[in-house]
Structure 1
Amino acid sequence: MFHHVRVRISQLLLPLSETVRVRNFSKLQVSVISNGGFSTPKSILVKVVHAEKQEKQCIDGRYYTPKNYKSYLFNCGEGTKRIYSISKHKKNAIEDIFITVTNWENLGGLKGLFTERVKYFEGEFFRKELKLYGPELMLDRFYVGKAPVYSLVNATMDSFHEDEHVQIKFIPFFPELSDEDFKGYPPSVIDETKNWKIEGVQPKMKRRMSSIVYILKLRGENNTQPAIMILDCPDKRYLSSLLESEDLKKYQSAQGTYVFHLSPTSVVEDPRYKTFIDRFHSSNEHIHVKETQEQPFHYPISTIQTALNELDNHVFPLLPSSANRNEHKYTVLRSKMNKDKVLSMTSGKTLEFANNSVKMINNFRDVAVSYKNGIQKLQNADEKYLGSVKEFVKKQKRDKVVYPVITFLGTGATTSTLLRNVTGIYLEIDPDAAILLDCGEGTFMQMYHHFGSETSKMLRKLKCIFISHLHADHIVGLASILKQRHLAFKEIGVPVEPVDIIGEDDMTSLIYTIEYFVPNILQETVLHVSRNFRSKRYMSEIHTKLNLQELTTVKALHNFGRAHSVSIKHDSGWHLVFSGDTMPSDSLIRLGFRCDILIHEATFSTQAAAGAKKSHHSTVEEAVTTSKRMKAKKTILTHFSPQTLLDEKKLILSQTDLTIAMDHMRLQRSDLEYTPLFNPFLLELSNYTFYRWR
């Protein structure tokens, strides 16, 4: 569990004169990290850059230059860390995170962001402590495993945060609750909430559901930069409280504020919300972070897929999310010709305030020129070879689907990168059923990118989820998958078909945690313990439902024995084995002997064998050896650290039955006869991406 303490702001900060000094600032930057489109979170980063020159310092023998800025992140949903890896922002620069509303969409990326918090990263040394600000009870039952030391500030009851850079005011507002909202709560909570009589303080249930408005101002007497307001009205139940807030009315009359609205479009278009906006001083600017806009961070991912699509349009289908890339144009700053009250701002853009002026900055690298041209150079260098591969692929007959069909939603290890999301494999076992093998952060986002309008159908087709172990890069995406699956059934007006989940003994705690954020999940899941499937004689309702001859697990050599590999045999005759995370294992070899397909992790290169042993993972060479000893007919390697493939080029190219997995690769069993031909180009692509984007 995530151990935390509740502290009031007065306990965190001594009087200002004793603790901090006010700095001189050169500029203020407000970046829309993501806008909620394509299943991404809605989050904003505010960066305060000061003008003072920083001298090199030494800590524990390491020299570093302290950063000359301070970053404040508002909301941290699933995928935030990956978007950071594609943009110019540095993950470890964040020390303060502010949550507007307690829901998975705002909190789901915290664990992923914590993963690298304690590391010495890119030549800069960062303290371990992190401060989280948000509604009361924000992290109750929030399952994220081990995490760095941090403090939790109750923004519902406290009034502000202050440091040497900024002062941030907290203003909560609350929902109007109906009988529907009280379903599932004990009578004592319902009675307390309905009969609450203490003026000036809301009942506990409402405090937990509060939304926080954050108003950021730079410190200093000579500061001329505007105030920044972050406002999120999650649904129409909150509108009455928003309109009636006396604290907010004080700030609505102030001049020169930039108001960033994270509220859904359905709320912003409500007449009451428009009335709220009309109350602001006419000099204020209103910018809506609109979820219906495109997400520019997809561009490099789509560019990669487009290049691979030229090799094989079946194995590397074009991503639907990039189809209408140029359909919309965005207005960001007000002009004399623009009379709209609320303007739009797409993600990947930054407003920079400096020297009494404001300008627009693009946070994302110039994909159209730099990245696309870089891939073109790779293609030109191997033009003759790639041409022969394309001709060979065109001659293949693929008139019918040969199951299983394997869609790789994530092929990276531990942390997501530009090229690879963390682990997730969508396994279609027949036309009507699928199994999800692990579910790392952003798995639903990857599904949406890959399947587009078919995503709901693919979620309804999902009958079983196998979780190999409870490390964050294998489980954090589960809440989103279960929530979106619920909505997929609701979309067509039929009862939700419960999904079977196979995992470790601790899965029960995880599901109860998810239930805190995703209601009804206990009724829509059936839990099974992995160790029960170790015996081939064990039969469950899953075998019958999915037409399986065998669903057998074996203990994996990872996570101190709390991990499993799985073998799946279908009635139609095929046999697939998924290793999960593991060191070389004789038990796994016996389990998968003479299987048709082995999907094996290859986290480290041979040069990093000591790291593999220490973290209980396999090297590429060990995975290849396992495949040969198992006599697997075809092998797919996945779960790569960024540099692994660079060091193992010679070994990989010497294997004729080995395929390198890529995100958004969609493989039929018959495709594995020739997909090793793609390996040379995939290795060059990995090499280019590693050096270009690290």
Structure 2
Amino acid sequence: MELYFLGTNAGVPSLQRNVTSIALRLMEERRSMWLFDCGEGTQHQFLKSPLKLSKLEKIFITHLHGDHIFGLPGLLSSRAYQGGVTPLTIYGPPGIRKYVETSLELSQSRVNYELNIVEHEGGIIFEDDMFVVESAFLEHRIDSYGYRIMEKDRPGSIDPSKLAVHGLKPGPLFGRLKRGESIELEDGVIVHPEDVLGSPKPGKVITILGDTRPTPNVVPLSAGADVVVHEATFLHELASTAHEYYHSTALQAAEAAKEAGAGRLILTHFSSRYKDAEHLEPLLLEAQSVFPNTRLAMEHELIQI
């Protein structure tokens, strides 16, 4: 499980950074990738990355401002040309269906794979046997949402001493037990996964927030998360400006992560006034003064979860 930042700028692209898009690589977990927001130029950022559009399974849109969605029509159209033939689902606030369908219809774009669009207003929006995704309302100029991605607990490791009790040796039966299946031995004895596996391994929790002022929903969304991705559009000396434009400061992001008991904080969505690494450093130091385990999102950097 890895995060890859395709765009970290706020509002408009700059010479240094593109607008918002974040990939969550789940190659070991489900051989696929999820995308969070898709600002203009995201497909160009894909071309500079190790990511493959053919592996894209889901897109989660936080809100309908252009710097978070203007890249969608082009990316959807190009996906098939890059080997993307499997179904793709888009999740987003009400209005995302109209935006996508109208863009594709008026441009006469042909999407030759199954495209599903799920509009939501928070709550549990996806669940299967591996993951649960929950969404909650934030505070921005238009409806904006944060996403909490919860990996379900994974089976524990196989205990060799427990296998020996049943006379089991390495082989195909190992895989079945690891997947949670019971097996029948030649003598008719049934071996259940819990007979040979150690304690379950807790799943990871990742919180990716859309644009927001400080708001109560950030804390439950981020509670105990291994990683929280939070916007930090301004330094706290511009807190009044951040409030006026419905954004957060680096200090406010750190305060939220600390209150939530998060493991790590990654700052993104930087104002263009902070042009390069030198200008971004004060945001990092400001956040670290409250929440030391903070880092800046850097484009085309792969972060292990």
Q: TM-score, normalised by structure 2?
A: 0.76
* 1:413–1:639 contact (8 Å) kept in structure 2: yes
Query: Is 2:161 the partner of 1:526?
Result: no
Query: Residues 420 and 518 of structure 1: is their aligned pair in 2 closer, same or farther, counting only changes over 3 Å?
Result: farther
Which amino acid is 2:99 matched to? L
Query: Is 2:47 the partner of 1:448?
Result: yes
Query: Residues 601 and 649 of structure 1: is their aligned pair in 2 closer, same or farther, counting only changes over 3 Å?
Result: closer
Report what 2:101 is aligned to.
512
* 1:502–1:528 contact (8 Å) kept in structure 2: yes
Query: Is 2:206 the partner of 1:576?
Result: yes
Report what 2:135 is aligned to.
553
* 2:254–2:288 contact (8 Å) kept in structure 1: no
Write the deviation string for residues 34-84 of structure 1: whole angstroms up to 9, x where unpaired: xxxxxxxxxxxxxxxxxxxxxxxxxxxxxxxxxxxxxxxxxxxxxxxxxxx
Which amino acid is 2:12 matched to? T
Which amino acid is 1:425 matched to? I
Query: Residues 653 and 592 of structure 1: is their aligned pair in 2 closer, same or farther, counting only changes over 3 Å?
Result: closer
Query: Is 2:8 the partner of 1:411?
Result: yes
Report what 2:302 is aligned to.
666
Give me the CA root mean square deviation: 1.9
CA distance in 2, matches of 1:449, 1:530: 32
Query: Is 2:89 the partner of 1:503?
Result: no
Q: TM-score, normalised by structure 1?
A: 0.34
CA distance in 2, matches of 1:610, 1:646: 21
* 1:530–1:564 contact (8 Å) kept in structure 2: no
Higher relative contact order (CA 8 A, sep 6+): 2
Query: Is 2:66 the partner of 1:472?
Result: yes
Give the SS at the match of 1:559: coil
Structure 2: 5+ residue runs without aligned partners?
A: 155-202, 275-279
CA distance in 1, matches of 2:36, 2:242: 22
Give how far 1:590 is off: 1.1
Which amino acid is 1:415 matched to? V
CA distance in 1, matches of 2:26, 2:141: 28
Give the SS at the match of 1:577: strand
Give the SS at the match of 1:509: helix
Structure 1: 5+ residue runs without aligned partners?
A: 1-403, 491-495, 670-694
* 2:39–2:70 contact (8 Å) kept in structure 1: yes
Query: Residues 511 and 596 of structure 1: is their aligned pair in 2 closer, same or farther, counting only changes over 3 Å?
Result: same
Report what 1:614 is aligned to.
244
Report what 1:108 is aligned to.
none
CA distance in 2, matches of 1:611, 1:584: 13
Report what 2:270 is aligned to.
640
CA distance in 1, matches of 2:22, 2:241: 25
Report what 2:286 is aligned to.
651
CA distance in 1, matches of 2:264, 2:38: 24
Query: Residues 512 and 497 of structure 1: is their aligned pair in 2 closer, same or farther, counting only changes over 3 Å?
Result: same
CA distance in 2, matches of 1:642, 1:440: 15
Query: Residues 438 and 624 of structure 1: is their aligned pair in 2 closer, same or farther, counting only changes over 3 Å?
Result: same
CA distance in 1, matches of 2:15, 2:33: 27
Query: Residues 649 and 662 of structure 1: is their aligned pair in 2 closer, same or farther, counting only changes over 3 Å?
Result: closer
Report what 1:481 is aligned to.
75
Hey, which of these two has a bigger chunk of helix by percent? 1
Report what 1:461 is aligned to.
55
* 1:479–1:518 contact (8 Å) kept in structure 2: no
* 1:602–1:623 contact (8 Å) kept in structure 2: yes
1:190-205 matched pairs, under 5 angstroms: none
Write the deviation string for residues 548-601 of structure 1: whole angstroms up to 9, x where unpaired: 1x21000110134x1111100113400000111111121121122111110000
Give the SS at the match of 2:37: strand
CA distance in 1, matches of 2:284, 2:32: 36
Give how far 1:417 is off: 1.4
Equivalent pairs, count: 247
CA distance in 2, matches of 1:649, 1:662: 12
Report what 1:605 is aligned to.
235
Which amino acid is 2:295 matched to? T
CA distance in 2, matches of 1:625, 1:653: 10
CA distance in 2, matches of 1:552, 1:565: 8
Give how far 1:448 is off: 0.3
2:145 to 564, 585, 600: 564
What is the percentage of aligned positions where both structures have the same residue?
31
CA distance in 2, matches of 1:659, 1:413: 17
Query: Residues 463 and 518 of structure 1: is their aligned pair in 2 closer, same or farther, counting only changes over 3 Å?
Result: farther
* 1:595–1:633 contact (8 Å) kept in structure 2: yes
Query: Residues 503 and 447 of structure 1: is their aligned pair in 2 closer, same or farther, counting only changes over 3 Å?
Result: same
